[in-house]
Amino acid sequence: MKPEEAAAHIAAVEEHGYTIVENAIEPDLIDRLNDTLLRLEREMNIVPARNSFEGHHTVRIYNLLALDPVFRRIPVHASVLPVVEGVLDDGCLVSSLSSISIDPGETAQPIHADDQVMPAAKPHIPFVCNSMWALTDFTEENGATRIIPGTHKRDSSPEYGKHYDSIPAEMKKGSVLIWHGSLWHGGGANKSKARRVGIAMNYCAGFIRQQENQQLGIPLNIVREFEPRLRELCGFGTYRNLIGHIDKKTPAQRLLDDTRSFRSIWDS
Ligand SMILES: O=C(O)CCC(=O)C(=O)O
Ligand SMILES: [Fe+2]
């Protein structure tokens, strides 16, 4: 992605709370992701969680980085990460990586903000920047994510379960929706005859806690295979050479044999 293109997306997230990157995902990657998700669902016998938030006809697979190497291409993807780094900063982290497959018959998810459990006065700088990767077309009929533009600037989060007027973030397979963690939104109802498949690639600022615990949730022998940037994004670096250190070394130095030099903020 060209810097001016990234800048336009970053400005859109700041102003409207969201943006869509079209043709972001390579067709071969879309196919591999779809195939892998179906295989995991089958092999791991994954079924809907059956609650109002995760849905009654929605299959969600969590902790994807622990499950197959193909998912490693997502957090570092050049069509999305520069935008997220502009919204948060380059110390951002993978907060969670999961799939959300909405099956026919699913009703709309309650409108929410992904950062609403965080007890900070709103509006605030983005602590969270999330993305939805369209592995099928996203249409109003099949449950495209519903959004309420501009709501990231409000002074509160929505009331859970209340109706709000929203618009569907329709996009073609291969596109990615990126939003500010305070934006009011929710998964749509699927009134079509086919599944809507998305991957929720969620990031957070480097100074807050990740939603899925990447350091404990991904076996270290798998993290050792990650490229350096992916290790950092999973929390094996530090934020501003301070937050997350272990005895003044990075987790990657202590646990993964990273030999790159590191100076703590205090020594600099
Ligand atoms: O599936 C979607 O379109 C959105 C899901 C969502 O917002 C969430 O689970 O936090
Ligand atoms: Fe959400």
In this structure, which residue's CA is closest to atom 2 in ligand 1? 187
Q: Which ligand is nearest to the CA of 144?
A: 1
List the domain range (segments joined by +) for residue 242: 218-268
CATH assignment of the domain containing 142: 2.60.120.620
Cα 162 to ligand 1 centre (Å) = 16
Indicate whether 173 and 59 sit together in one domain.
Answer: yes
Specify if 15 maps to a domain.
Answer: yes
User: Could you give the number of structural domains in the chain?
Assistant: 2
What is the Å distance from ligand 2's center to 187 Cα? 7
Say if residue 30 is in the same domain as residue 60: yes
Cα 70 to Cα 3, 66, 96, 209: the distances in Å are 26, 10, 16, 25
Distance (angstroms) between ligand 1 centre and the Cα of 254 equals: 35
Residue with CA closest to ligand 1 atom 5: 187
With contact defined as beta carbons under 8 Å apart, do 206 and 240 qualify? yes
Q: What is the pTM of this model?
A: 0.98
| Whether 163 and 250 share a structural domain | no
210 lies in a domain? Answer: no
Residues with CB under 6 A from ligand 1: 100, 109, 114, 132, 145, 185-187, 198
CA–centroid distance, 146 to ligand 1, in Å, is: 9
Q: Give the HSE-up count for residue 221: Cα atoms under 13 Å, Cβ half-sphere.
A: 1
Q: Which atom of ligand 1 is nearest to the CA of 145?
A: 3
For ligand 2, the distance from its centroid to the CA atom of residue 233, given in whole angstroms, is: 20
What number does the ligand 1 atom closest to the CA of 54 have?
A: 9
Do 252 and 122 share a domain, yes or no? no
Q: Does residue 212 lie in a domain region?
A: no
**Atom number in ligand 1 closest to CA 144:** 3
* Residue type at position 84: V
Write out the chain's pLDDT in tens, 268 residues: 999 999 999 999 999 999 999 999 999 999 999 999 999 999 999 999 999 999 999 999 999 999 999 999 999 999 999 999 999 999 999 999 999 999 999 999 999 999 999 999 999 999 999 999 999 999 999 999 999 999 999 999 999 999 999 999 999 999 999 999 999 999 999 999 999 999 999 999 999 999 999 999 999 999 999 999 999 999 999 999 999 999 999 999 999 989 888 999 999 8
pLDDT at 261: 86
Residue 98: the pLDDT is 98
Last residue of a domain, one of 183, 205, 227: 205
Give the ligand 1 atom nearest the CA of 198.
1
Residue 186 and residue 108 in contact, taking contact as beta carbons nearer than 8 Å: yes
Q: Are residues 167 and 249 in the same domain?
A: no
For residues 268 and 174, state if they share a domain: no
Ligand nearest to the CA of 158: 2
Q: Are 234 and 65 in contact (CB under 8 A)?
A: yes
Q: Give the domain-ending residue among 154, 182, 205.
A: 205
Confidence at residue 260, expressed as pLDDT on a 0 to 100 scale: 85
Residues 129 and 254 in one domain: no
Residue for token digits 């993978």?
A: 94
Cα(185) to ligand 2 centroid in Å equals 6
